Structure 1
Amino acid sequence: MTKIGLAYVNGAVPGFEDFGNLPTDIVKENGLVNGNKASDELDALIIPGGTLIESNDIDMGLNKEIKKMARDGKPIIGICAGFQLLSNQIDIGRKSPVPIIKEGLGIIDVNFSPLITSDRVKAKVFKNSFLVENQNEDVDGFHTHTYGKVEGDAKPLFYSKVQRMNYGDTNEEGDYNIFSGACNDDGNVIGTMIHGILDENPILVENLKNQIDIKDMDEIYNRNLEVKKYLQSEVGINSGIKITENRKNDRPKYLMIGSNGSDSGKTFILTGLAGAIRKRGYKVALLKVGPDVRDIIPGLYLTKGKMEEFSSIKIGHLGWSDIESTIKKLNNSDYDIVLIEGVMSVFTGLLNEKVPFSAAEIAMSSKIPMILATGVNKGGIESAAVDIVAHTNMLNNLGVTVEAILLNKVYNENIFDTVVPYIKENTNVDNILKLPKLKSADMRGFIPEVEIRYELFTSHAMNLIEENLNIEEIIAMTSEVEFEKIYSFEEIKERVI
């Protein structure tokens, strides 16, 4: 019986993609499969993306099994962080004046350093491994990573065409190519930064099937269903938080997490809500306004959800899928609740002549209800209250329903209690919520766009949300939506100015 392992370790996102529906067995940090060594039990291994490098010191029993399988010539496919694990070293010091070096396993002769990309991509193929035999066209997939600059002497497999790097466009043609895949000298150990590589390129799946001589695909798919059932039985990885019920909505219901600026905690709030709602048995879709889908990955770590082709909502030329087609696809899906993370302030880009170009316009287009969040850590609770009132009333002028206002990082409950009547008297919002300032002394690994440890970030987010918010009340704020229209620049100006 052919067995294909899927690494299930802290910091991994094994539900992020389907991996060609091939994994048949779960492999944990101890490197065992059904009580036996993975190198003895498995015919191939897939190592998913995530924050394996930030989340682990990679001193896992699984590492010995990876090295043994590599020496034995068995196929190993590492994707994103899985690729980093197989490399020589990784510099995770993106905002550090000096490199912060993490050692890899040294199986593929490349090094990594900071480079942000989050594009849907096509990638040129170099035929240095069994995996890409007969792949005569470019492969498809997507990037979403922070440490994606690959350099080294390993045999190349893929070069991805990207349109944006480090928050800026590459050039007008969008044809900047970056090294995005390589293999060891024998070609059996493959690393790539391209997510969806096995889901979107059937020839690669066929090559892997032939390489390990799969005879009965029905058996593989049936065992894969059991793997997915296992993934969906738990919130997060090794958390012990079981999903004990299955609750269904007739149609998906939507809620946006917007804010009055960056550093308000949108990602933290969305992550905690995603885990808390998934725990209650709902299938949760997570979307991001704009291109930086890295922000929703911590939530997907908890829900074991997929990064969908519509997970990034286009604003201007940035992103993957326009809001009209996104709503249509979601309304015909089996998702129960859709949480959407805004970008910067809800009004950032509102007066750009390209439409839509802001989170407010996305909400306007389909009457998506919103929780409007503000961080109180910069100007104080009083300033945040004044600012959030102005934002709320402008959203009301634009036809967006603010279901709740959330003051985040509250450091003084007496001041919060004092500003609540002011907010209620000056808006039409009754639900004024708060989250306290985190008391954790060590915040390293808490910044999604710099360095993040998923198991640490997500556990704090989910715990804080569940301890301070009524999740059933939040669920009641969601509503069914239909796409209506994209408002023109002139229509927006009439409402704003």
Structure 2
Amino acid sequence: MTRIGLAYVSGAVPGFEDFGNLPTDIVKENGLINGNKASKELDALIIPGGTLIESNDINMGLNTEIKKMARDGKPIIGICAGFQLLSNQIDIGRKSPVPIVKEGLGIIDVNFSPLITSDRVKAKVFNNSFLVKNQTEDVNGFHTHTYGKVEGDAKPLFYSQVQRMNYGDTNKKGEYNIFSGACNDDGNVIGTMIHGILDENPILVENLKQQIDIQNLDDIYNRNNEVKKFLHREVGINSGIKVPPIKPNKKPKYLMIGSNGSDSGKTFILTGLAGAIRKRGYKVALLKVGPDVRDIIPGLYLTKGKMEDFASIKIGHLGWKDIESTIKILNNSDYDIVLIEGVMSVFTGLLNEKVPFSAAEIAMSSKIPMILATGVNKGGIESAAVDIVAHENMLNKLGVSVEAILLNKVYNEDIFDTVKPYIIENTNVEDVLKLPKLKSADMRGFIPEVEIRYELFTKYALDLIEENLDIDKIINMAREVEFEKIYSFDEIKRKVI
């Protein structure tokens, strides 16, 4: 009986992709399967992405089994953070004045350092492993990583063609300019930064099947279904939070988390809401306006949801899929709630002649309701209140329904109570919500763009959201929507004036 393991450890995102529907067994931190060593039980192992390096939660038990399987010539595929784990070392100090170096297992001879890409990609293939045999055309998939610069002497497998790096366009058209996959000398241990590599490239899946001599595909797929049921029974990983039976599918309802600027806490709010709504049995889709889908990964860590190919809503030339196609797909899906994270301010890009180019325009296109959030930590609660009122008034002119205003990082409840009536009196909003400032918010491992640990970030987000917000009331703010139109630049200018 063929067995393919899937690493299930804190910081991993094993629901992020289907891995060709091949994993048959869950492998936890101790490296055991039913009390036996994984190296004895498994024919192959898949290590998913996540924050495995930052979380430091793969202990010596699983490390030892990975090394043993590698020595025995068994296939191991590490994706994104799984690739980093297999490498020599990883510099995770993106915003640090000095490198912050973490050691890998040293199985694939490469090193990692900071480089951001979040593109759908095609990748050129180098024939250095069983996995790519007969793969004469480019492979498909997507990148979503912060520490993606790969350098070293390992045999290359993939070079990806990317549109943007570190938030800027590459200006290189059709060039394969990112080293995105490698293998060990024997070719049995594969690392790649390309997510979806087994879901979108059937030749690679067929090669893996042949390598481990799968005889009964029905058995593989049946046991894979049991693995997926296991994944979706728990919110997050090793949390002990069980998901009740899935509610009967209805047409999904939508809610956008918008803001008046960066650092407002959109990602934190979306993450907590995603986990809290999933705890109530709803199937939650998570989308991001624009290309940076890294922002929704903590939420997917809690929901065990897939990074769908429509997860990035296109604005201008940035992103994966346009809003019209996205809503058409979702309205025929089994999702119950769709949460959409905006980008920067809801008005960033609004007066750009590229249409649509802002979160406000995406909301306008389909009358998507919104929770409008603001952080109060920089200019104070009073300043945030004045600014958020102006934002709501303009959204109202544009025809966007703001269901609630949320003041985030509130440091003084008395001041909040003072400004709340001002917000209500000067907007069409009845619900003015607040989240308190977290005392631990300066901890490393907690802040996106510095060093995020999914298990830590998501726990704080889920706990704070559930302690301070009425989740059922927020669910009722979501609405069914249909795509209507993209407003032209001239139409937007007339509405703004």
TM exceeding 0.5: yes
The Cα of 1:445 is off from its aligned counterpart by 1.3
The Cα of 1:257 is off from its aligned counterpart by 0.1
CA contact (8 A) 2:346 2:360 kept: yes
The Cα of 1:172 is off from its aligned counterpart by 5.5
| Larger mean Cα displacement after TM superposition, 73-82 or 53-62 | 53-62
| Structure 2 counterpart SS, 1:274 | helix
Deviations 1:156-189 (A, max 9, x none): 0000000100000001525352100000000000
Count of residue pairs brought into register by the alignment: 497
Match of 2:46 in 1: 46
Alignment of 1:481-496 (within 5 A): 481-496=481-496
Amino acid at match of 1:293: V
| Larger mean Cα displacement after TM superposition, 449-458 or 436-445 | 436-445
Give me the whole-angstrom Cα distance separating, in 1, the residues matched to 2:481 and 2:388. Answer: 25
CA contact (8 A) 2:87 2:108 kept: yes
The Cα of 1:246 is off from its aligned counterpart by 1.9
The Cα RMSD (Å) is: 0.9
Give me the whole-angstrom Cα distance separating, in 2, the residues matched to 1:243 and 1:390. Answer: 40
- Evaluate the alpha carbon distance shift between residue 89 and residue 464 of structure 1 in structure 2; reply closer, same or farther with a 3 A threshold: same
Give me the whole-angstrom Cα distance separating, in 2, the residues matched to 1:266 and 1:445. Answer: 18
Give me the whole-angstrom Cα distance separating, in 1, the residues matched to 2:101 and 2:57. Answer: 11
Match of 1:405 in 2: 405
Match of 1:431 in 2: 431
Match of 2:223 in 1: 223
Give me the whole-angstrom Cα distance separating, in 2, the residues matched to 1:246 and 1:139. Answer: 35
| Structure 2 counterpart SS, 1:234 | coil
Give me the whole-angstrom Cα distance separating, in 1, the residues matched to 2:190 and 2:442. Answer: 35
Gaps of 5+ in 1: none
- % identical aligned pairs: 88
Match of 1:173 in 2: 173
CA contact (8 A) 1:150 1:179 kept: yes
**TM-score computed with the length of structure 2 as normaliser:** 0.99
| Structure 1 counterpart SS, 2:177 | strand
The Cα of 1:59 is off from its aligned counterpart by 3.2
Give me the whole-angstrom Cα distance separating, in 1, the residues matched to 2:191 and 2:293. Answer: 21
Deviations 1:10-68 (A, max 9, x none): 10000000000000000000000111100000000000000000011643310000000
Give me the whole-angstrom Cα distance separating, in 1, the residues matched to 2:441 and 2:478. Answer: 34
Tell me, yes or no, if structure 1 residue 238 matches structure 2 residue 238. Answer: yes
Deviations 1:197-254 (A, max 9, x none): 0000000000000000000000000000000000000000000000123223410100
Give me the whole-angstrom Cα distance separating, in 2, the residues matched to 1:424 and 1:409. Answer: 19
Alignment of 1:49-60 (within 5 A): 49-56=49-56, 58-60=58-60
Give me the whole-angstrom Cα distance separating, in 1, the residues matched to 2:187 and 2:249. Answer: 47
Give me the whole-angstrom Cα distance separating, in 1, the residues matched to 2:193 and 2:441. Answer: 33
| Structure 2 counterpart SS, 1:123 | strand
Amino acid at match of 1:304: K
Amino acid at match of 2:354: K
Match of 1:93 in 2: 93
Give me the whole-angstrom Cα distance separating, in 2, the residues matched to 1:447 and 1:269. Answer: 13
Match of 2:326 in 1: 326
Give me the whole-angstrom Cα distance separating, in 2, the residues matched to 1:221 and 1:396. Answer: 50
Alignment of 1:85-484 (within 5 A): 85-171=85-171, 173=173, 175-440=175-440, 443-484=443-484
Match of 1:5 in 2: 5
| Structure 2 counterpart SS, 1:405 | strand
CA contact (8 A) 2:30 2:59 kept: no
Match of 1:22 in 2: 22
| Structure 2 counterpart SS, 1:175 | coil
Gaps of 5+ in 2: none
Give me the whole-angstrom Cα distance separating, in 2, the residues matched to 1:174 and 1:250. Answer: 42
The Cα of 1:194 is off from its aligned counterpart by 0.1
The Cα of 1:319 is off from its aligned counterpart by 0.3
**TM-score computed with the length of structure 1 as normaliser:** 0.99
CA contact (8 A) 1:163 1:175 kept: no
Give me the whole-angstrom Cα distance separating, in 1, the residues matched to 2:176 and 2:135. Answer: 21
CA contact (8 A) 1:163 1:176 kept: no
Give me the whole-angstrom Cα distance separating, in 1, the residues matched to 2:143 and 2:180. Answer: 9
What stretches of structure 1 move > 4 A for 4+ residues in a row? none
Give me the whole-angstrom Cα distance separating, in 1, the residues matched to 2:367 and 2:226. Answer: 38
Give me the whole-angstrom Cα distance separating, in 2, the residues matched to 1:174 and 1:425. Answer: 54
